[in-house]
């Protein structure tokens, strides 16, 4: 797992594949990122399936309850196949835009 900390968020990328090992490793380390806005970037992988990304649903809900952003980046997938609480975008730029919109929403709501 590659971790790239930016000023206001962290990008995490799987090194080899989006498999159960990556998911388990991230789930164990998610507490290290509990106060951080996260982007999980799968664009370096050859293939990512919808079921792979659905594993992150509980993490996305938990991050939302803590008022932090959680965005998955994967291209070539139908976005309408995901529940509303799981944000999946095709590019890193769109993920960064989502983080900005979330920050504005938090400011408006007083978080």
Q: What is the CATH number of the domain that holds 66?
A: 3.30.750.24
Query: Which range of residues forms the domain containing residue 33?
Result: 2-109
Q: Is the pTM above the cut of 0.95? A: no
Transcribe 57-104 into DSSP letters: HHHHHHHHHTT--EEEE-SSS-GGGS-TTSEEESSHHHHHHHHHHHHH
Domain count, the chain: 1
For 12-65, write each residue's pLDDT tens digit.
Answer: 998 876 667 788 888 888 888 888 999 999 998 888 889 989 999 999 999 999
For 59-106, write each residue's pLDDT tens digit.
Answer: 999 999 999 999 999 988 888 889 989 999 999 999 999 999 999 998
pLDDT score at 71: 97
């Amino acid at each position: 797992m590659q971790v790239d900390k930016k000023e206001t968020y962290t990008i995490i990328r799987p090194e080899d594949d989006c498999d159960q090992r990556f998911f388990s490793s991230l789930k164990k380390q998610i507490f290290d990122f509990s106060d951080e806005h996260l982007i999980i970037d799968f664009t370096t992988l050859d293939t990512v399936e919808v079921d792979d990304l659905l594993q992150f649903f509980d993490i996305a809900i938990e991050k939302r309850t803590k008022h932090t952003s959680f965005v998955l980046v994967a291209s070539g997938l139908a976005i309408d196949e995901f529940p509303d609480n799981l944000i999946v975008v095709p590019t890193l730029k769109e993920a960064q835009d989502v983080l900005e919109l979330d920050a504005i929403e938090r400011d408006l709501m007083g978080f």
